[in-house]
Copies of this chain bind each other. A is one copy, B any other.
């Protein structure tokens, strides 16, 4: 059984918006879109985004400063993310590859570091853009 997070009003509004988009959204474009719902300030958006990232409902695409919904219902905490990013059309897809995840999960460096999270971004050209 997984813990069901109860989202606040702002968090719900912003998660809804992100889930409706299959592509990453940027904070200020979210802000623009939710102004009609009474969310007026960047900080209100960032606070909700941070929470949603923390509970694994969305992921941040670090190289793009943008946020995408997590389609994997099992992904309750954002600790292992892999994305492919088309450098031409900027299409982003979350990747769930069992074998790859295994390799990443099992990776040990030689410095005795204790990992609890990783983020991998692949860049290239998607089928349409090749």
Contact = CB atoms under 8 A, between A and B. Distances in A.
Interface of A: 62-63, 84, 86, 93, 95, 97, 100, 103-104, 107, 109, 111-127, 130
Number of copies of chain A assembled together: 2
A84 B95 CA distance: 21
A110 to B, nearest CB: 9
B126 A122 contact: no
B100 A126 contact: no
Contacts of A113: 84, 86, 122, 124-127
A106 B116 CA distance: 24
B112 A123 contact: no
A84 B120 contact: no
